[in-house]
Amino acid sequence: MKLLIKNIKSLVQADDGSRQKVSGAEMKILPCLNDAWLAIEDDKIADFGKMENFSGISDWTNLQVIDATDKLVLPCWCDSHTHLVYTGSRESEFVDRVNGLTYEEIAKRGGGILNSAKKLAEATEDELFDSAMKRIHEVILQGTGAIEIKSGYGLTLEAELKMLRVIKRIKENTPIPVKATFLGAHAVPIDASTGLSMTKQKYMELLINEMLPRIAKEKLADYCDVFCEQNYFTKAETIRILTEANKYGMKGKVHAEQLSHSGGVEAGIECNALSVDHLEFVNDKDIQLLKKSDVMPTILPGAQYFLCLQYPPARKIIDAGLPLAISSDYNPGSSPSGNMNFMISHACVHYKLTPEEAINAATINAAYAMGLSKTHGSIAVGKQANIFITKEIPNYSFIPYSFANNPVETVIINGQLIVDN
């Protein structure tokens, strides 16, 4: 099966495939080829070039041709941070926040993560799978072509395994790559034997001695994450969990510095994590330490927007010479949307990222944050053909400009037309 896209107004983020991530001033550069063609063979990008150098079609066998006049072609968004396996929405907590309560106050009343954990305990694997697949389909329509999904609404051995099995089933049934992350350390659960909050010590033992070994044995997780935050897990606990996870070959990720400065970035660096995510409260010392590491700083504009948190210092991070990734945090509590187009727009409007920086953050750098930058995140010969064709738009800056709209018209995953809006 061959696919040729011709007359592309601009082929965006086209490179030679050698870049794993872009940092600092490089993030302002978005390599584009105007008036271009792109050839796909089977599931891979076969070649591309400028129309003026197009040699014509010699073999029409099994060839589909798409005319992209006035349209752009981009690599699909990579979303390296989601919690999209869940059941039940939490709009009543949203209304509570509108009426003045904070995320922390709602959590103390039994809302928040424990609310979703309660709902998840009652759901079957089939229900969780069906609702998650709807969300996957929804985000593919918005241009997402690779996704990471976390557990963390289970908080018991059985329920965490249930979530991770659902994620495994999603991996097997969706054409886009899925990375699974074990987030047992998302909150301390209610102890079924007492009806009260479990002691931290008891939950840490359960997590380290029972959950991690079992999950590793069943090969259910690629990564391990910890919510490093006041009232959740401390820096020392984060280091302990990630150190154990590393022994099983699971790299770390950290929910870091979201609601306060809690040491998550330092913990992530110390454990050689793949990424540290959120970063609203990241400080100058953290930024300096990140420069000596390979950890990908990742911002989640949806959660910052929805919880009305202070802005992450995204400009400062890039201006310090660091890379930056953008992801959605799609989850029922702090970001009930996985629309990467909106995430990019919010980052440009409010954090003052340029469109080039935001698109780099949501493609090549987010691919890095899920271990996929060799195969995804840019348009390069030999990379996976996960791309989208936009509607008729003037240029790539129109994507963040046209906020809350969907610029995507056609999505191609593994060389197959998945959807034609």
Would residue 39 be called left, alpha or beta, if left means φ above 0 and alpha means ψ between -120 and 50 degrees? beta
- Cβ neighbours for 353, distance < 8 A, ≥ 6 positions apart: 314, 315, 318, 324, 347, 361
Nearest approach in angstroms of CB 315 to ligand NIG is 22
Please identify which residue in the block is written with the tokens 């040729």: 4
Q: Minimum distance from CB of 255 to Fe ion (Å)? A: 5
Cα separation, 191 vs 381, whole angstroms: 53
Please identify, among the stretches 157-165, 280-288, 327-335, 401-409, the one whose residues bind ligand NIG according to the rule CB under 6 A.
327-335
Using the structure block, give the residue that is written with the tokens 């793949």: 274
Residue 261 or 383 having the CB closest to ligand NIG: 261
Residue 268 interacts, among Fe ion, ligand NIG, none and using kind-specific CB cut-offs from 5 to 8 Å, with: none
* Residues within window 340-399 making contact with ligand NIG, judged by CB under 6 A: none
Identify which range of 260-268, 324-332, 361-369, 384-392 contacts ligand NIG by CB under 6 A. 324-332
Two structure tokens written together for 389: 């064709």
Q: Which stretch in 10-18, 111-119, 267-275, 371-379 sits in contact with ligand NIG by CB under 6 A?
A: 111-119
The angle, 0 to 180 degrees and rounded to 10, between the axes of the packed helices 355-362 and 340-351 is 140
According to CB under 6 A, which one of 304, 331, 360, 384 is a site residue for ligand NIG? 331
Instruction: Report if residue 222 touches Fe ion, rule: CB under 5 A.
Output: no
Number of residues that bind ligand NIG (CB under 6 A): 13
Q: Is 7 exposed, middle or buried (0-12, 13-18, 19+ CB in 10 A)?
A: middle
Show the site string, 177-216: x = touches ligand NIG by CB under 6 A, - = not: ----------------------------------------
Residue closer to Fe ion, measured from CB, 132 or 418: 132
Cα 49 to Cα 73: distance, rounded to the nearest angstrom: 13
Alpha-carbon span 224 to 290, nearest angstrom: 19
190-221: buried (b, 16+ CB within 10 Å) or exposed (e) per residue? beeeeeeebeeeebbebbbeebbeebbeeebb
Is 329 among the residues that bind ligand NIG (CB under 6 A)? yes
Q: Of the two residues 361 and 393, which places its CB atom closer to ligand NIG in the complex?
A: 361
What's the min distance (Å) between Cβ of 259 and Fe ion? 12
CA atoms of 95 and 380, how far apart (whole Å): 45
Would you say 41 and 415 are in contact if contact means Cβ atoms under 8 Å apart?
A: yes
User: Using CA atoms, how far apart are residues 162 and 169, in angstroms rounded to an integer?
Assistant: 11
Nearer to ligand NIG among residue 324 and residue 380 (C-beta):
324
CB of 225: closest distance to ligand NIG in angstroms? 9
Provide the H-helix boundaries in 150-283: 157-173, 200-205, 212-217, 235-247, 264-270
Are 103 and 112 within 8 A, CB to CB? yes
Q: Looking at residue 405, what DSSP letter applies? A: S
Which member of 222, 329, 356, 357 binds Fe ion (CB under 5 A)?
329
Residue with nearest beta carbon to ligand NIG: 333
**Contact between 255 and ligand NIG (CB under 6 A)?**
yes
* CA distances from residue 407 to 38, 236, 246 in whole angstroms, order as listed: 19, 44, 40
363 binds, options ligand NIG, Fe ion, none, Cβ within 5 to 8 A by partner type: none
Q: Is 80 in the site for ligand NIG (CB under 6 A)?
A: no
**Site mask for ligand NIG (CB under 6 A), range 286-305, x = bound:** -----------------x--
- Does 227 engage in binding with ligand NIG (CB under 6 A)? yes
Q: Which does 112 bind (CB under 5 to 8 A by kind): Fe ion, ligand NIG, none?
A: ligand NIG
> Taking the alpha carbons of 17, 19, 22, 28 in that order, is the dihedral positive or negative?
negative
Q: Work out whether 112 is an interface residue with ligand NIG (CB under 6 A).
A: yes
Of 21 and 255, the one with the shorter C-beta distance to ligand NIG is 255
Binding partner of residue 227 among ligand NIG, Fe ion, none, CB under 5 to 8 Å per kind?
Answer: ligand NIG
Q: Between residues 103 and 388, which has the closer beta carbon with respect to ligand NIG?
A: 103
Q: Considering the rule CB under 6 A, would residue 113 count as an interface residue with ligand NIG?
A: yes
Rg (CA), the chain: 21
How many other C-beta atoms can be found within 10 angstroms of the C-beta atom of residue 372? 22
Q: Cβ-closest residue to Fe ion?
A: 329
For ligand NIG, the closer CB: 335 or 378: 335
- Which residues of this protein are in contact with Fe ion, per CB under 5 A? 329
- Which residues of this protein are in contact with ligand NIG, per CB under 6 A? 83, 112-113, 116, 227, 255, 258, 303, 329, 331-334
